[in-house]
C-alpha cells in the first residue's frame, strides 16, 4: 500500500517531529493513521490514538505498535496535531472533554462529516486552529480523495500541512466550508455508489457468461481506466463517452438502456440525498 511518491517527501519533512493524536481510530481514522505510519510520514513513537472500547484499544495497539488508549485528554496533552475521527454525533462531547488541554499552538483536524468548524471552535479556547478534512475509504490504498477547508483561526500554512498529510493517501482539494456537505455526498460516500455499479457490472458479466472473477476484474479495471482518463486528460466525460460510441454499434444500445433505467438522474438524486443528510447529521 506504500504510496511512495515525491509528495510524500514533502509531507515527511513537514510532519517530521510532529506528534499526532487520532481521537477515534475507527474505519476512517484507522485508515489514515495506518497509511501515514506505512508511508513513514509518522513514526509509532510520535503517534497515539484513542477508541471507545478498552479491548479495541489493546488490539489496535498490538496491530499498529502505537499507544492506543481510551482517554482523550491524555492523548492530546503532548500532541501537535489532533485528528478527530469519531462519529459526528460524538464530536461535541469529545471536544468538550479535551478543551481544557488544548492551546492555540495545536491544530485540530476533524474528518467528521457534517460538523462545522464553528461548532468545534466554540467549544475550544479562543484562537485554536480548526481544519475540516473529508477523506474517503480508497485512502487505504493511496487513492483517496480528500477535500479540506479551514476554520476561522487556521493559517494557510496549517491548511498546507493538512493537505500534505492527506496527499500521502491520495489527492486533496481545498474548498470553502459551505461545500463540505456536497463533498460528503459526492466523494466521501461516493465509493459506495461505485461499488454498487461495479457489483452490477460484474453480475452483468456473469449473466453474459463470464466467470465471476474475470467479470469483476474487467469491471474494476474499466472503472479505474475510465476515471484515470478523466483525471489525466481533463476531457469532459461526455466527450470521452462519445469516443466509445460507434454509430449503430453496441455501446449506443447499452447507453439507451442506461437512459431508460434513469441511471443519471438516480445518481444525481443519490448525491443530493446524501448531501442533505450530511447537513442534518451533526445534530441528528
Ligand X SMILES: NC(=O)c1ccc[n+]([C@@H]2O[C@H](COP(=O)([O-])OP(=O)(O)OC[C@H]3O[C@@H](n4cnc5c(N)ncnc54)[C@H](OP(=O)(O)O)[C@@H]3O)[C@@H](O)[C@H]2O)c1
Q: Which three cell numbers stand for residue 127?
A: 484562537
Of 181 and 215, which has the nearer Cβ to ligand X?
181
Q: Pick between residue 27 and residue 228 the one whose CB is nearest to ligand X.
A: 27
Q: Give the C-alpha separation, 16 to 125, whole Å.
A: 26
Nearest distance in Å: CB 223, ligand X: 18
Kindly tell me which of 12 and 77 has the beta carbon lying closer to ligand X: 77
- Please report, as ranges, the residues that interact with ligand X according to CB under 6 A: 23-29, 50-53, 56, 72, 85-88, 90, 94, 111-113, 134-137, 188
Instruction: Give whichever of 72 and 205 is closer to ligand X, judged by the CB atom.
Output: 72
Do 137 and 30 touch, CB atoms closer than 8 A? Answer: no
Give min distance, CB of 179 to ligand X, in A: 15
Least distance to ligand X, CB of residue 211, Å: 30
d(CA 141, CA 204): 26
Q: Residue 134 CB, nearest distance to ligand X (Å)? A: 6
Based on CB atoms, which residue is closest to ligand X, 189 or 215? 189
Rounded CA gap, 90 and 84, in Å? 10
For ligand X, give the closer residue by CB, 41 or 86: 86
Closest approach of ligand X to the CB of residue 57, in Å: 7
Residue with the CB atom nearest ligand X in the bound state: 26
**CB nearer ligand X, residue 1 or residue 52:** 52
Max CA pair span of the chain: 69
Task: Give me the least distance between CB of 111 and ligand X, in Å please.
Answer: 5
Beta carbon of residue 42, minimum distance to ligand X (angstroms, whole number): 18
Amino acid at each position: 500500500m506504500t504510496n511512495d511518491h515525491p509528495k510524500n517527501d514533502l509531507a515527511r519533512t513537514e510532519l517530521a517531529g510532529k506528534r499526532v493524536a487520532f481521537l477515534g481510530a475507527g474505519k476512517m481514522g484507522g485508515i489514515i493513521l495506518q497509511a501515514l505510519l506505512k508511508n513513514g510520514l509518522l513514526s509509532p513513537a510520535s503517534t497515539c490514538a484513542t477508541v471507545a472500547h478498552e479491548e479495541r484499544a489493546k488490539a489496535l495497539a498490538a496491530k499498529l505498535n502505537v499507544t492506543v488508549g481510551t482517554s482523550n485528554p491524555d492523548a492530546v496533552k503532548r500532541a501537535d496535531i489532533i485528528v478527530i475521527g469519531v462519529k459526528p454525533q460524538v464530536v461535541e462531547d469529545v471536544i468538550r472533554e479535551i478543551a481544557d488541554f488544548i492551546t492555540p499552538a495545536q491544530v485540530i483536524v476533524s474528518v467528521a462529516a457534517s460538523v462545522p468548524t464553528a461548532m468545534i471552535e466554540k467549544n475550544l479556547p479562543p484562537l485554536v486552529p480548526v481544519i475540516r478534512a473529508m477523506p474517503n475509504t480508497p485512502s487505504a490504498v493511496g487513492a483517496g480523495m480528500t477535500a479540506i477547508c479551514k476554520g476561522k483561526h487556521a493559517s494557510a500554512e496549517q491548511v498546507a500541512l493538512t493537505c500534505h498529510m492527506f496527499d500521502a493517501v491520495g489527492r486533496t482539494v481545498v474548498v470553502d466550508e459551505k461545500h463540505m456537505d456536497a463533498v460528503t455526498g459526492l466523494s466521501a460516500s461516493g465509493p459506495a455508489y461505485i461499488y454498487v455499479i461495479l457489483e452490477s457490472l460484474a453480475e452483468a458479466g456473469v449473466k453474459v457468461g463470464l466467470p465471476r472473477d474475470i467479470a469483476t476484474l474487467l469491471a474494476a479495471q474499466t472503472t479505474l481506466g475510465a476515471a484515470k482518463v478523466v483525471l489525466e486528460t481533463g476531457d469532459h466525460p461526455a466527450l470521452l463517452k462519445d469516443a466509445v460510441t460507434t454509430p449503430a454499434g453496441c455501446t449506443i444500445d447499452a447507453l439507451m438502456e442506461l437512459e431508460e433505467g434513469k441511471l443519471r438522474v438516480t445518481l444525481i438524486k443519490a448525491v443530493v440525498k446524501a448531501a442533505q443528510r450530511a447537513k442534518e447529521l451533526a445534530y441528528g
